[in-house]
Amino acid sequence: MKKRKNHSPEFKAKVALETIREEMTLAGLSKKYGVHPTQIGTWKRAAIENMATAFTPKGSAPSR
């Protein structure tokens, strides 16, 4: 049985950012980083959805 890979948040962010830039296809990024294209798409969606939290002041509750 294959051991499950655990990727660091930094790695996920790097791959997601590269996906958002659209300089390579998902298939190309998948081959480059050894991650399934579906997983890369999930990381991209999560990065886009949570991007606004980078601009909220520290210590304040995010408004929705």
Helices and strands, number each (H, E), in the chain:
3, 0
Number of domains in the chain: 1
Domain assignment present for residue 60? The answer is: no
Over residues 7-36, the pLDDT tens digits come to 999 999 999 999 999 999 999 999 999 999
Task: Enter the tokens of residue 9.
Answer: 């948040």
Secondary-structure breakdown of the chain: helix, strand, coil percentages, each rounded to the nearest 5: 60, 0, 40
Over residues 37-56, the pLDDT tens digits come to 999 999 999 999 999 888 88
Q: How far apart are CA 17 and CA 19, in angstroms?
A: 5
Domain assignment present for residue 2? The answer is: no
The residue segments making up the domain with residue 23 are: 9-48
Q: What are phi and psi of 9, to 5 degrees?
A: -60, -35
Domain assignment present for residue 61? The answer is: no
- Please determine, for residue 63, whether its predicted confidence score (pLDDT) is greater than 70: no
Q: What is the pTM of this model?
A: 0.78
